[in-house]
Structure 1
Amino acid sequence: MDSGEGTPADQTRHAPLPLVAAAQARCSTRCVPGLPAPETPRLDDASEPRHRPWADLPADILGVVVGRLALVEDRARLRSVCHAWRAAARLHRRLPPPLPLLVLSDFSFSSFRAEGTVTGARLRVPLPGSETAGAGSVVRCVGSFEGWLVGVEADQSRDIGDHRCFLMNAFSQDVVRLPAPSAATDSVDTQSKSLSLPIANSSGVMNCVTNTAHRAMSFRKVALSSSPESGTGCVVAAISMAKDTTELALWRPGMESWCVCYGSCVGKFIDVIFCRGKLYMFSSSELTEDLFSFELSEGDNGGLMVSRVERRHMEMPGVTEGYYQNWSIVEWRGKLLVVATYTGGAEVWQRIVEVRVFEASLSTEPVRFTEIKSLDGDCIFISPCSCKSFRSCQYDGVGGDLIYFIDGYLSADKNARPFDKLVYNVKDGTMAPFAADIPEDKLQAPDGMLMHPTWLFLPE
């Protein structure tokens, strides 16, 4: 990761740990192959006793140190001290995953800390040179999964959607390039294949097309079923919102183009998620909110095709008059939760005034929602492009039954309202400010449009 800009307070507060800094100095010669080892002090030596080299710290003591490092960058600092420390750290694999990072508009990141705060923008995830946007273009992050970020590039000078999409590991810099979301030509591919599927439990039809050369898509959120390292087991589901049209695009390794699903039955996009091995998409129309479930099957040449689409009607709780409701969908311990936020008030920018959490019963028709007041000590992290539950009990000092919001609307409007940055207590219903140290310009693109921060959860 590159060094980025930060306030003097940040640079002081997040300097390398004293133990690590001292060890790096003492271990600089001890760990270089070929240099003589320092003389072992004798018990009867009359001179001042020497300290043992840091590289010789017992592995069990290093294990205690490693176990207290919740931030991924602190663990990286420890491993970088010397070969002995790196080897000792590998022996302690049963560590909880690091606390999450928040990736900002310029791919700098903030670290979530055990006391329930985030740091100011500090380091930056460097984009590989081949993925750096050219003049008139901007790269934005639209999703994440276990250390992988999903990036797209759009040419702001032309309204033709995104013309690049890629997956990038934030630490190894491995890149997986996906097919271009938008074709450069309007010609029709003679090899394109289309399928119209009746939607179960509805009178509508879902159209699915592959190998098309005449679509223009602009991705707003991308979800992955598993890590790209799993090969063909990884399915990428992308929601496109371009020219007032909502489409669902599907891809997995080996496919040369997207499988694009669309239809008049799909209204305004709300969210997309993989849960219990299935793909679900929430959308809304003027009168209803609907849940669509997709069954995927093997297509031609090892590709992916939709074999069944079912529309699930939902019994959602009513909304207080004058309030606007927005949803975030998250999987929690194998259950599907809906975190509903309600905005209202007389201010120019209406802010979140109420939060409610519901468990969706997928075994009933219509789908019923039961409000819950406890997460059994867990936390939920929400951003426009990523939502995830987190076992906070594994960490000292991390509070439970809390929802952390860095949230806003998936809008390309420069006049869209600012992001809500708050933490909500599920048990007592209180809200408090959150992430005050993140500068507002880190949530904006160079042209002033809102960019979507993304929570990044690492599997280490």
Structure 2
Amino acid sequence: MDSGKRSPADQTTRHAPLPLVASAQARCSTRCVPGLPVPETPSLDDDAPEPPRHRPWGDLPADILGVVVGRLALVEDRARLRSACRAWRAAARLHRRPPPPLPLLVLSDFSFSSFRAEGTLTGALRRVPLPEREAAGAGSVRCVGSFEGWLVGVEGDESRSAGDLRCFLMNAFSQDVVRLPAPSAATNPVDTQSRSLSLPIANSSGVMMNCAINTAQRGAMSFRKVALSSSPESGTGCVVAAISMAKDATELALWRPGMKSWCVCYGSCVGKFIDVIFCQGKLYMFSSSELAEDLFSFELSDGDDNGGLMVSRVERRDMEMPKVTEGYYQNWSIVEWRGKLLIVATYTSDTDDEVWQRIVEVRVFEASLSTDPVRFTEIKSLDGDCIFISPCSCKSFRPCQYGVGGDLIYFIDGYLSPDRNARPFDKLVYNVKDGTMAPFAADIPEDKLQAPDGILMHPTWLFPPE
């Protein structure tokens, strides 16, 4: 590496590591573990044989500790083991990497609940600690996305009229922070690096997408969902895609390390946004209207010599969508599963106000991106995997090593809408093989999913890397 260049780690603000969960702060010596009973020494006479010597807990062999760590499904249990003593912490690090722990459900206010092997969520909520600078501010700080162990946070104006004032990426475990440009900051329209262009969308009839970078923004942005292409630790390989919904305007904002402002994309195709995802090295956006559903693929290129990026091509992909029973309303979520793109469709009835409040059918389709038009094939198995869906994140996960049942989809989902009258979240688990549904996440208080002004606050699934 050229010594004159900064490594990705240099671009990250590092804070003193803090535990994600409350755990014992005291560190014992290698001779004992806090909280464990000390065996009493029996009374012996002179003729009695010498009692067996008890080895200290800190001398527990590293290979045994490695087996224990591999069987701990919850990330907080692993944190407690590492905090017991220096010997255990060192042994946990030296052993082979254990399977990823079960995910956490992080609510908008950064409180979280752990997913358990029984297929339920812990009822007691704890809070991911925020560094002082990120926690401070006049507005409300909320979580709007995740990638592996990283969370995406924004600070919004309390009146919701000025958009988001700040945006940052934070590692929930190391407390490392990457600060992004302010979503709603005014920029200089005469900047020498400013660019603004209208791109024709390939395979469509005259539809255009407008892209602007380092120019005066059209208005305030309020992020509802943020997706990452890779970990922020990858440096310029990490691309951030954020969907903004503010004042009846929907925009797609793009950023990568080195950029001083967002590349903002807008147009009629973005206005019908449903979901956005990175898959197989490309950015895909799914949108829907009363007439059709559209899948758009984006190609990104360097925007300038300072690490910026720009949209160089947008293509509308023709799709052969499955038939939908008349009288049902459908919502779509996009999930990457083993390198494949899945569409999880939920159906609600628009004929009965009561039925409108719940999902009545779920179907899962695999999208063949190599065909033109894109074909969708319904599948009835996830090969033992599970899918976790929320408004801010959708991800597949293989939980069988912890005894969790497979071929299940866990929903705590709603619509990315600033409407105060949006319907409540659907909270259920769906069995892909037999089509049955059951309630899920009943222990999450409703007030944790709704802001004081009535707007739904969207949770996100967080998947710790270890």
When structure 1 is superposed on structure 2, of 437-446 and 174-183 the one drifting more is 437-446
Q: CA deviation at 1:246?
A: 1.9
Select 2:142's aligned residue among 140, 143, 146. 140
- Listed one character per residue, the Cα deviations across residues 185-236 of structure 1 (whole Å, up to 9, x for unaligned) are 8977675311222211113342111002333211111110000011011000
Separation in 2, partners of 1:136, 1:28: 44
Per the alignment, residue 218 of structure 1 pairs with: 222
Pair 1:302 & 2:331 matched: no
**Contact 1:6–1:121 (CA<8 Å) still a contact in 2?**
no
* Secondary structure in structure 2 of the residue aligned to 1:229: helix
Q: Deviations over 1:109-155 (max 9, x none)?
A: 11111111110143210122211253453x22111001100111111
SS in 1 for 2:268: coil
Distance 1:260 1:13 in 2: 29
Matched-pair contact (CA < 8 Å) for 2:74–2:101: yes
Equivalent residue number for residue 244 of structure 2: 240
Please tell me whether the aligned partners of residues 2 and 124 of structure 1 are also in contact (alpha carbons under 8 angstroms). no
- CA deviation profile, 1:254-289 (whole Å, cap 9, x unmatched): 000111111234331110000000110111233111
Secondary structure, aligned partner of 2:287: strand
CA contact (8 A) 2:188 2:214 kept: no
Counterpart CA distance in 1 for 2:344 and 2:327 is 19
1:13–1:322 CA distance, 2 compared to 1 (3 A) = farther
| Contact 2:27–2:85 under 8 Å retained in 1 | no
When structure 1 is superposed on structure 2, of 213-222 and 81-90 the one drifting more is 213-222
C-alpha deviation, 1:435, in angstroms: 1.1
Per-residue Cα deviation, 1:67-106 (whole angstroms, up to 9, x for no partner): 2111100000000000000111112233110110000132
More divergent stretch after superposition (210-219 vs 417-426): 210-219
Deviation of residue 46 (structure 1)?
A: 5.0
> CA 1:53–1:446 in structure 2 vs 1: closer, same or farther (change >3 Å)?
farther
CA spacing shift, 1:318–1:55, aligned 2, 3 Å: same
TM-score by length of 1: 0.88
Q: Which moved more, 1:321-330 or 1:34-43?
A: 34-43
* CA pair 163-53 structure 1, distance change in 2 beyond 3 A: same
Q: In structure 2, how many angstroms separate the alpha carbons of the residues matched to 1:406 and 1:66?
A: 29
Q: Does 1:311 align with 2:316?
A: yes
Check conservation: 2:330, 2:348, Cα contact below 8 A: yes
Q: Is the 2:344–2:363 Cα contact (8 Å) retained in structure 1?
A: yes
Q: Tell me, what secondary structure is at the counterpart of 1:405? A: strand
Gapped runs of 5+ residues in structure 1? none
The alpha-carbon deviation at position 64 of structure 1 amounts to: 2.2
1:290 Cα offset (Å): 0.6
TM-score, L = length of structure 2? 0.86
Gaps of 5+ in 2: none
Relative to structure 1, the CA distance from residue 413 to residue 103 in structure 2 (aligned partners, 3 Å threshold; closer, same or farther) is: same
1:326 aligns with 331
Structure-1 separation of matches of 2:151 and 2:386: 22
- Cα–Cα, structure 1 residues 265 and 37, in superposed 2: closer, same or farther, change >3 Å? closer
**Higher mean C-alpha displacement, 318-327 vs 182-191:** 182-191
Counterparts of 1:3 and 1:450 in 2: how far apart (Å)?
A: 48
Q: Distance in 2 between matches of 1:425 and 1:6?
A: 48
Q: Secondary structure at the match of 1:2?
A: coil
> Contact conserved, 1:110 with 1:119, CA < 8 A, in 2?
yes
Q: For the residues of structure 2 that align with 1:405 and 1:448, how far apart are their CA atoms?
A: 21
Instruction: Give the 3 Å change call, closer, same or farther, for CA 191–90 of structure 1 in structure 2.
Output: closer
| RMSD of aligned residue pairs (Cα, Å) | 8.1
Task: From the superposition, tell whether residues 23 and 203 of structure 1 become closer, same or farther in structure 2 (CA, over 3 Å).
Answer: closer
Q: CA deviation at 1:184?
A: 4.6
- How far apart in 2 are the matches of 1:4 and 1:129? 31
Per-residue deviation, residues 3-55 of structure 1 (Å, max 9, x unmatched): 99999999999999999999999945737999999999999995985532110
Between stretches 248-257 and 433-442, larger displacement belongs to 433-442
Q: 1:447 to 1:136 in 2, by over 3 A?
A: farther
1:159 Cα offset (Å): 1.3
Supply the distance in 1 between the matched residues of 2:155 and 2:139 (Cα, whole angstroms): 10
Q: Secondary structure at the match of 1:79?
A: helix
Q: Using a 3 Å threshold, how does the CA distance of structure 1 residues 63 and 325 change in structure 2: closer, same or farther?
A: same
Change in Cα spacing, 1:14 to 1:218, as seen in structure 2 (3 Å) is: closer
Alpha carbons of 1:58 and 1:180: their partners in 2 closer, same or farther (altered >3 Å)?
same
Matched residues, number: 456
Q: Verify the 8 A CA contact 1:259 1:305 in the aligned structure 2.
A: yes
The answer to whether the 8 A contact 1:188-1:214 is kept is: no
Listed one character per residue, the Cα deviations across residues 152-184 of structure 1 (whole Å, up to 9, x for unaligned) are 111132513212111111111111111111125
- Alignment check: 8 A CA contact 2:427 2:439 kept: yes
Cα 1:20–1:124 shift into 2, 3 Å? closer
SS of the equivalent of 2:76 reads: helix
Residues 158 and 16 of structure 1: is their aligned pair in 2 closer, same or farther, counting only changes over 3 Å?
A: closer
Moved more, 319-328 or 203-212: 203-212
Change (3 A) 1:37 1:349: closer
Residue 57 of structure 1: how far off its partner (Å): 1.2
CA contact (8 A) 1:179 1:258 kept: yes
Distance in 1 (alpha carbons) for counterparts of 2:70 and 2:384: 21
